Structure 1
Amino acid sequence: MKTTLPDRWPTLTAPDLDAFEVLARSSYERLPESFRALTGDLVIRVAEFADQDALDSLELSSPFELLGLFEGVGLAATGGLAVTGQMPNHIWLYRRPILDHWAESGETLGDIVTHVLIHEIGHHFGLSDADMEAIEAASD
């Protein structure tokens, strides 16, 4: 007998941090190689929520307001050149806010993770939120 999704609902759970990291890596690996090559030594990290310092710096009152964050010195600031002694740039993906967005949006979790990842990589390239919104609007 074929199991339908409603029959499986009681056994389904949201991905934990480890599974979420696998999803993030998979999303990154599906990006075009030419795009990934430009990201250099970018480190992708997953956490439940942003820390309070990140929320304060962005003047956010709730950790659910932040799905991802670029942390480091973008390519625009360095002219694309490596800076000696600089720590690698990080992209943070925040599991709980992304899961909440997923529950409310009707989009697939993979699509949301990919969108947040691309958005934060855009910051790595030095693009502003307005720049990325214009690019997304033009591609819709």
Structure 2
Amino acid sequence: MSAERFEELVSEALDEVPAALLSMMDNVVIVVEDAPEGPDQNLLGLYEGYALTERGWDYGAVLPDKITVYRLPTLRVCDTEEQVVEEVAVTVVHEIAHHFGIDDERLHALGWG
């Protein structure tokens, strides 16, 4: 799958997130990269930053938080475009949840593994 098509799928997944939820996101960017740097080459997504629940009175003058969705690891775990669509949607929701302070344990309990 081309990088352009994968980016379209990420955009489509974001379109499915309720507008009210997206409007509450603060100081965060969402990007697509081919693969993660470092040892975990199977990582599908990554949230880097300060979750909204961790921001206090002293939060300010910081770079935006970053949600990254990784194309190549996602394509490795999916056999069809339909599976890619589903995995991208799950990854996008998963990383947005981290922005709101929801940890992996809670996400798994909610079925967003």
The two structures have a TM-score, normalised by structure 2, of 0.86
User: Residue 109 of structure 2 corresponds to which residue in structure 1?
Assistant: 134
| 1:82 shift after superposition | 8.4
Q: Residues 107 and 134 from structure 1, CA distance in 2 versus in 1: closer, same or farther, beyond 3 angstroms?
A: farther
Which SS does the other structure have where 2:74 is aligned?
helix
* Structure number with larger C-alpha Rg: 1
User: Residue 3 of structure 2 corresponds to which residue in structure 1?
Assistant: 17
Offset from partner CA, 1:75-127 (integer Å, 9 cap, x none): 11105x78321111111001001011112x89532111010010011111111
Q: Residues 83 and 66 from structure 1, CA distance in 2 versus in 1: closer, same or farther, beyond 3 angstroms?
A: same
Larger helix share, 1 or 2: 1
Matches within 5 A, 1:115-126: 115-126=90-101
Offset from partner CA, 1:48-80 (integer Å, 9 cap, x none): 11112xx4xxxx4xx0x200000111111105x
User: Residue 72 of structure 2 corresponds to which residue in structure 1?
Assistant: 96
User: What is the letter of the counterpart of residue 72 of structure 2?
Assistant: R
Which SS does the other structure have where 1:136 is aligned?
coil
User: Residue 54 of structure 2 corresponds to which residue in structure 1?
Assistant: 77
Which SS does the other structure have where 1:93 is aligned?
strand
Q: List gaps (5 residues or longer) in structure 1.
A: 1-13
**Structure with larger RCO (C-alpha < 8 A, sep 6+):** 2
Q: Residues 82 and 68 from structure 1, CA distance in 2 versus in 1: closer, same or farther, beyond 3 angstroms?
A: farther
**Structure 2: distance between partners of 1:82 and 1:38:** 19
Q: List gaps (5 residues or longer) in structure 2.
A: none
Q: Paired residues, what number? A: 112
Report sequence identity in percent: 29
